A and B are shown apart, each in its own frame.
Chain A
């Protein structure tokens, strides 16, 4: 059953867009089945190759990975569904099969990471997904895509190798690679030095992959130069998976036994998250190009998720997990809307986009809805996670108020840069001399609206994801307390 994601990537070359979408939808369906199975309480464990856990590789799906699995496969399926028109514009015909198989590989790599319960296996699948994303970004039409992807390649490989060093150090001290087994054996390790350094390496490596604040340099230009649909796919799930591994490692493996680790993790992650939120939102405010604006804002959103995780409390965890879910929805929707706009407007600079709303009412409406969800206007999905974050901040002791202030200030900044987009699109006079662009193609539009509606739906009745998030929090916090 778990091999479905692998079957996904077995359709290689010569596969047109249709096949890719069918495969992505299949994996999304399986993800749904898995989540339902996990919801009624029994996490799935699957020993690969029939060998018992510590010797062979085991795959495990619990509440946390089920949620992220949903996000990843959902984003993959949605972006592939809408991919055809905008990709045809940007990639010439004979290279498309390669492009789509790379896309499937990326999806399978991400799913592989989420599902796997073995440290080295995570590294292998991380490598597959990052190689696939290098290929996808390198497909960008503009010549500036190449240096951007080269920088991403260098930083991504360094991050993965740091992670490898961390796993090596842990393996050296505990002798095992299976996550659950490792967590059990860390306690009785006598000398602590290598474990602490290993924790340091793994955190740095994964922070680099997840573009946490100081190490996020590669993200803005990589996402801006990539083909539009690829940005939708990557923005929604690529960095989230790295955060998922970071949180899983920090909570499951280190937290349980290392007494003072919680404080260390909080002290390390909190300032980074706060800085990330503030600086990235500030940069986004003054950004000219629409896509780069949204890319920098997603760095800020990652800061939110990390902030939630660094509270080391039940509420904080469920807030950050919820935000993973909601941010994927909001950002996915926004980039989809951008893809619709880009279908007609070659140049995405804000001042060029004047009067788009008059011609493309539907797209801009979807843009507004997803923008609201990003800011966290009540009634949209974003609001739920913001609310949880604020309540967690309040709980987390004396300087809780300071954190709430930070969250509010950054939400205000978010309002500013979303407003800049809305103002440019709706109220600015149309730039003369541009042709009369018709509405975006139906297919692209439908998916954008689907995501926008989902935003609102999960805002009003956040039943399913909330329950998942809380069960994850109990799972992780269970270890933490």
Chain B
């Protein structure tokens, strides 16, 4: 019966994807992309992937739409249709589709328990987590300690993106016609959303912190928390106007957060090494290994949360500042 929903949502997904590609007006494409990520999150939820649904929701609807919109504000909105070249694209894409469908013939069908994927490594994680870590959320356990190195790599990807955007947008726009537009005053004259927004922002940030620190028990963790807190501050920036947001969380603090988060993660790894364990082996951190793991994971999640939040906010400010400049 659950599959009925899955079936239903997937068809919606395909329709949205086709619509996105078809529309002319870019703004509509962005709106449909946010619907697309809403649907993806719902699908993930049905397929029992709560953590991933939360991340897709926090990142997809919140941050991606905002970044797309601010980029759209800087560039034109119309899209010119391209003439010709249709068939080459169709041919290549067609071959690819056949290739994939050919691969699906003898893949295990959805959800059969004896598929090889469930045999080898997964059950080990499921048994070992309560024993080693002592908390229920297996996904966070695997994410932060069993495969902690991936997450370290992950933090540095966010770090690289943040550096990249600052680097690329660091250049003053060459155009001379730089009439200083009035500071984007946000929705100043929309009174009601402002009042409600101001009421909401603390709740969003509070909820972000809640997600951050209870990552072990329910769906949550560093990435999601960072994204949610970033969305909260972006909401504040939208309402109050970008200048106040900068005043509230100045740019240097943001960059400090990103670097702090990345360094925290790396240094925890190094500390474990110094205390004799392997690179990211938290069990050496405290006397009894289970406590050590929990302590290590807690610090790691805090580091990740800080890095992600700082990075997303500095990207947002880079775009928003650009908007008021050009």
Contacts and interface: CB of A to CB of B under 8 A. Distances in A.
Interface of A: 2-3, 6-7, 9-10, 12-13, 46-51, 54-57, 94-95, 98-99, 101-102, 105, 108-109, 112, 120-121, 124-125, 127-128, 131-132, 134-135, 138-139, 169, 171-177, 185, 189, 191, 193-194, 196-198, 200-201
A227 to B, nearest CB: 12
Given A6-B266, A132-B160, A49 B103 contact: no
Given A49-B149, A135-B164, A135-B168, A9 B121 contact: no
Interface in B197-237: none
Contacts of B160: 102, 105, 128, 131-132, 135
Nearest to B125: A55
Interface in B105-150: 105-108, 115-122, 124-125, 128, 145-150
B170 A50 contact: no
A349 B237 CA distance: 49
B60 interface: no
Interface of B: 99-100, 102-108, 115-122, 124-125, 128, 145-150, 152-154, 156-157, 159-161, 163-164, 166-168, 170-171, 255, 259, 262-263, 266-267, 269-270, 273, 277-283
A213 to B, nearest CB: 17
15 contacts: A3-B273, A6-B152, A12-B163, A55-B128, A57-B150, A98-B163, A108-B156, A128-B156, A128-B157, A134-B164, A175-B117, A175-B118, A176-B121, A194-B103, A197-B103
A461 B19 CA distance: 63
A138 B121 contact: no
Contacts of B124: 55
B120 A102 contact: no
Of B108, B152, B167, B262, the most chain A CB neighbours within 10 A belong to B167
Contacts of A131: 157, 160-161, 164
Contact of A138 (B99, B117, B152, B168): B168
Nearest to A12: B259
Contacts of B118: 175
Contact of B280 (A48, A94, A120): A48
B159 A50 contact: no
- B-side binding surface: helix, strand, loop or mixed? helix
Nearest to B171: A95
Contact of A48 (B104, B117, B119, B149): B149
Given A48-B278, A120-B150, A196-B103, 13 more contacts: A3-B279, A6-B152, A55-B125, A57-B150, A102-B167, A121-B149, A124-B150, A127-B157, A131-B161, A135-B168, A139-B167, A172-B117, A198-B103
Nearest to B145: A49
A377 to B, nearest CB: 41
A95 B269 CA distance: 30
Nearest to A122: B153
Contact of B121 (A54, A95, A139): A54
B147 A57 contact: yes
A171 B117 contact: yes
Contacts of B269: 3, 6
A138 B167 contact: yes
A13 B150 CA distance: 23
A13 B121 contact: no
B103 A169 contact: yes
B130 to A, nearest CB: 15
B116 A56 contact: no
A173 B116 contact: yes
B255 to A, nearest CB: 7
A102 B149 contact: no
Contacts of B167: 95, 98-99, 102, 135, 138-139
A109 B154 CA distance: 11
A48 B168 contact: no
Nearest to B277: A50
A194 B163 contact: no
Contacts of A49: 145-149, 278-282
Max chain A C-beta neighbours (<10 A), residue from B100, B149, B159: B149
Contact of A94 (B122, B146, B170): B170
A55 B259 contact: no
A156 to B, nearest CB: 13
A206 to B, nearest CB: 16
Contact of A124 (B119, B154, B273): B154
Contacts of B280: 48-50
A306 B318 CA distance: 42
Contact of B146 (A56, A99, A134, A196): A56
Which of A2, A56, A99, A108 counts the most chain B CB atoms within 10 A? A56
Contact of A185 (B120, B170, B255, B262): B120
Nearest to B156: A128
Question: Which one of A57, A125, A169 has the greatest number of beta carbons of chain B within 10 Å?
Answer: A57
Given A7-B270, A55-B146, A101 B163 contact: yes
Given A13-B259, A57-B147, A194-B103, A174 B120 contact: yes
A16 B216 CA distance: 40
Contact of A194 (B106, B171, B279): B106
Contacts of B106: 191, 193-194
A207 to B, nearest CB: 15
B260 to A, nearest CB: 10
A3 B146 contact: no
B150 A197 contact: no
Given A2-B279, A56-B147, A124-B153, A193 B263 contact: no
B278 A124 contact: no
Going nearest first, the 8 A-B pairs with the smallest beta carbon separation are: A50-B281, A175-B120, A197-B103, A124-B153, A49-B280, A191-B106, A50-B278, A135-B164
Contact of A57 (B103, B149, B159, B163): B149
B156 A197 contact: no
A248 to B, nearest CB: 18
B279 A121 contact: no
B173 to A, nearest CB: 12
A3 B166 contact: no
A50 B283 contact: yes
A101 B154 CA distance: 16
Given A98-B170, A172-B107, A172-B108, A54 B279 contact: no
Nearest to B108: A172
A169 to B, nearest CB: 6
A125 B149 CA distance: 10
Contacts of A197: 99-100, 102-103
